[in-house]
Structure 1
């Protein structure tokens, strides 16, 4: 994998560089945010936003504390080409996870996403109230994917003196496994599904960030991927049933 793009934020000899203590703070903030997302009760709309907002705001607050004015370095201006890349990476993510799932289905059953079982019985308004809180949650999931990737890249390059390409490859693997493991409770502790299906999707989404250095692009691809699946299930559940 060739990588001739600009330095990643927080990793190099730049004013926004994060030290070891800073990375520990950021990773701890992700753990706290994930606990808030998974342990807080989800009330009715609009209270359903609270866990998702905490999931997003806790690591952002930690990033602001650690990097000061550079906390927005993960986010760049979205151009028209970036919107096209969101769509392309969303399609690639869907295709990758589907291909891995089809292979795994030959040897092991897959667990359904808990949300998918409710889609068929929802009205359009109820669907909107269900999906809207996933917007901050999915941006938070991108922080859960990208910050560990950058932390491992920093460790590999700054401390272990490995090449940047090697650091990227190791960071991709480690962050994808972490992201997949975070989905174990969602998929009934199916390790193959969480680590391989979800993990492969994470690889594609992180590649969207690597290509663009813009978390908005990977977040946009993530939203498009997840919402496409939910909307497809909703549409199938509301198809008219023929006579007989």
Structure 2
């Protein structure tokens, strides 16, 4: 076999692999529950990276380590332990995530936004510490739920694809925001202004899932009414969840 034939065969194989990956990508993200949780995963993880990366800088500006005793390490440890505990206990929460997932994401994303805004209060380091702990606990609880909900709508062969795409999206968005907001080549804003922007960022996330949740609730009610009219004997309605086979 000539080298040109081998090259043509290799290119054809690569194209087939890429086409298969693209088809899997489209089929996975057609699943509405998976898409919703994946969007939250990418958006919230991006914001979470910004908060944990620059929290120490914020605390230093609020409460300088020069001449004062600081408790940053204790706060990080406490938030990690409480977040791990929340992740362990998430199965005990009496929430139907398939039915009310988007609305829960709205409420808790709004709580995360409030925590970030409170962290910008320059007068009280303890309020900042407390808000940081609550923020991390809520994130670790929700990211655990998101991981389960995404996996529940996937076949095992597609785990790497979906979680890889979600993580790549989070890191890409994190890089863009860093360049625009933090880096001196962009706006180069001070840390307090940065955190206010992150607060607005989580507020936007909460609005997105408020609208998604309301749409889901009203569309389900409409479909249930239509189904009842067509088949009065039917008392159940499929929620449209999907499994990537």
Tell me if TM exceeds 0.5.
no
Q: Which protein, 1 or 2, shows the higher relative CO under an 8 Å CA cutoff with sep ≥ 6?
A: 2
Q: TM-score, normalised by structure 2?
A: 0.34
TM-score normalized by the length of structure 1: 0.34
- Structure label with greater radius of gyration: 2
